[in-house]
C-alpha cells in the first residue's frame, strides 16, 4: 500500500510540475475584437455554422414544445363525453 501511495505522489508531482511549463497563447483579445465588431450579426450567431445550427434547433424545439403545450391545454379544456 505504501509503494502505491508513493507512486501516486510521484505521478501527481510530475504532472503538476510539467503542466506549469506549457504556455498557451492568450487569444482572448482577438476573440473580444471579433465578437464586439459591429457587423450586423447578433453575438449568438457570430461563432459560425455551429452557432446557427444550434440556434435553429433551439428555436424549432421551442416552437414544437409551445405547440404541444397549447394542444394539451385544448384537450384538457374539452369535457369528456359520458357514456
Tell whether 61 is covered by a domain.
yes
42: closest CA among 29, 30, 31, 55? 55
Tell whether 11 is covered by a domain.
no
Tell whether 56 is covered by a domain.
yes
Domain membership of residue 51 as a residue range: 43-78
Higher pLDDT, 18 or 2: 2
Tell whether 69 is covered by a domain.
yes
Tell whether 27 is covered by a domain.
no
Tell whether 59 is covered by a domain.
yes
Residues 24-58 pLDDT 10s: 899 999 999 999 999 999 999 999 999 999 999 99
In whole angstroms, give the CA distance from residue 48 to residue 53: 9
Query: Against a cut of 0.85, is the pTM above it?
Result: no
| Number of structural domains the chain divides into | 1
Tell whether 32 is covered by a domain.
no
Amino acid at each position: 500500500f505504501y509503494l502505491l501511495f508513493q507512486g501516486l505522489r510521484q505521478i501527481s508531482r510530475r504532472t503538476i510540475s510539467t503542466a506549469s511549463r506549457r504556455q498557451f497563447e492568450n487569444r482572448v483579445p482577438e476573440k473580444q475584437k471579433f465578437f464586439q465588431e459591429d457587423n450586423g450579426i447578433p453575438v449568438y450567431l457570430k461563432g459560425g455554422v455551429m452557432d446557427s445550427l444550434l440556434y435553429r434547433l433551439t428555436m424549432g424545439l421551442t416552437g414544437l414544445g409551445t405547440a404541444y403545450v397549447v394542444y394539451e391545454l385544448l384537450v384538457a379544456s374539452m369535457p369528456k363525453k359520458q357514456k
